[in-house]
Structure 1
């Protein structure tokens, strides 16, 4: 990595367009509000929000990953999310 490069990625990225399904585990997540308005809320959690996702291949197969939300960015009309893959607690 070059000096002054703010890229924090530890693995090479490739541009890939594949269908993805994701779902939040059925756990109840505790949070605390930071600020509140009539149109939304900002809140904090002790732990990252964990999801399970399926990334589909062209042949219809898929890989399943567990990931934690690490960032979100809204640029109308789309919202982008960054997730970091991690271990599957159900596999341990």
Structure 2
């Protein structure tokens, strides 16, 4: 009985540690991206905006593929980026 409880507590602890690591990785990447976005908002004459991608396997909807024009336009509008600017998402 106590062995099973210990196993569950250990499993919960490991999963919690994993989620904290993922949160920290995503947060660090988002902070970099926010700085990049701020630069491109303040410099609307730049032709291409290079934005960091989220870590692979963590968030599937944070990056936009090049041929997805609808979401590119929504992303630009949401962040106030020049609509004529080309967005390029790069891996860290």
Q: TM-score, normalised by structure 2?
A: 0.22
Q: Which has the higher strand share?
A: 1
Bigger radius of gyration: 2
Q: Which has the higher helix share?
A: 2
Q: TM-score, normalised by structure 1?
A: 0.22
